[in-house]
Amino acid sequence: MASATEAINKLLFIFLFLQQYSLLIMADDSVSVPVPADWPQQFHSVLFINRSGDLQKTDLWYDWPNGRNFNIIQHQLGVLKYDLEWDNGTSFYYTLEPFDKTCKIVHFEVGILRPNWLHGANYLGQEHVDNFLCNVWEKVDFISYYEDVLTRRPVKWIFSSSGMVAHVMTFEVGAVLEDKHWQAPVYCFGDAETQNKTSTSLLHSQDAFPGGSSHGILMR
Ligand SMILES: *[C@@H]1O[C@H](CO)[C@@H](O)[C@H](O)[C@H]1NC(C)=O
Ligand SMILES: *[C@@H]1O[C@H](CO)[C@@H](O)[C@H](O)[C@H]1NC(C)=O
Ligand SMILES: *[C@@H]1O[C@H](CO)[C@@H](O)[C@H](O)[C@H]1NC(C)=O
């Protein structure tokens, strides 16, 4: 008799275990909403940007281990602008010859984007964008972000405040711009115009280059 009870108990135990297990799987299924891939520690990307009809090509050099981010912005048939950003909060916005030698320094309270800056974005589902099937997220009042479902590379993003649209043309993971290029010109260190910004959610270069400039996604 004892062994029959034991057998029933064992079966009951197994049954309960399986039930729990399947509940866990179901629960897990229902919460597995896609999350955006972290940005690589270092990459180079060419972006085509449309800001209310003003077109620009931006070279984005993201370099998290060295605490720096560079946007080199070619306005269509226009000025080439440099937006050099350090994680200590200092950004240099300048132009070089043959354009006017200008420089503006802006101090921000926060530095460059963390690789996981998209954490916490709301998932909006899938959409065909620029000929790619994308997962779409939004960070409210800041950005809509489109990531290729297949490769998990970014395809496009849109800034909510300005409507600026960036299309990702290349995405070279691990590419690093040589140190010698991360040097603001000497006239940045004279009596260049300096500003302090206290924003915590920043569109850095949009602030610094009114009417122009890059995605400036420097928020945390
Ligand atoms: C740029 O965006 C504007 C809307 O802001 C649109 O009318 C125009 O067609 C776009 N240009 C290109 C080349 O995509
Ligand atoms: C931040 O770092 C850059 C590059 O090293 C430097 O030029 C700048 O003065 C620094 N800013 C501050 C506030 O220390
Ligand atoms: C910006 O902040 C620095 C350090 O906090 C200060 O020395 C400087 O005077 C400020 N500049 C402006 C333009 O407010």
Q: Is the CB of 160 under 6 A from ligand 2?
A: no
What's the predicted TM-score (pTM) here? 0.79
CB atoms within 10 A of CB 65: 9
Instruction: Tell whether the model's pLDDT for residue 31 goes beyond 60.
Output: yes
Expressed in angstroms and rounded, the spacing between residue 19 Cα and the centre of ligand 1 is 55
Task: Assign 97 to helix, strand or coil.
Answer: coil
Q: Would you state the structure tokens that stand for residue 2, as one six-digit string?
A: 């004892």
> Which residues, including other chains, have CB under 8 Å from residue 174's CB and lie 6 or more apart?
40, 42, 43
pLDDT (0 to 100) of residue 30 = 57
Residue pair 110/89 in contact by the 8 Å Cβ criterion: yes
Instruction: Tell whether the model's pLDDT for residue 200 goes beyond 80.
Output: no
Residue pair 34/145 in contact by the 8 Å Cβ criterion: no
Instruction: Tell whether the model's pLDDT for residue 220 goes beyond 50.
Output: no
Expressed in angstroms and rounded, the spacing between residue 72 Cα and the centre of ligand 1 is 21
Q: Which of 98-107, 167-176, 206-215 is predicted most confidently?
A: 167-176
Strand ranges of the sheet holding 122-129, from the earlier edge strand across to the other edge: 122-129, 132-139, 143-148, 154-159, 165-173, 42-51, 54-63, 68-75, 80-86, 90-94, 103-107, 193-196
Compute the Cα dihedral for 144, 104, 84, 111 and give only its sign. Answer: negative
pLDDT band of residue 59 (cuts 50, 70, 90) is very high
Residue pair 73/95 in contact by the 8 Å Cβ criterion: no
The residue nearest atom 2 of ligand 3, judged by CA position, is 196
Q: Is the CB of 50 under 6 A from ligand 1?
A: yes
pLDDT (0 to 100) of residue 216 = 41
Q: Would you state the structure tokens that stand for residue 142, as one six-digit string?
A: 């800041």
Rounded average pLDDT over 173-193: 91
Q: Is the CB of 30 under 6 A from ligand 1?
A: no
Residue pair 44/172 in contact by the 8 Å Cβ criterion: yes
Q: Is the CB of 88 under 6 A from ligand 3?
A: no
Which one of the ligands is nearest to 49 CA? 1
pLDDT band of residue 204 (cuts 50, 70, 90) is very low
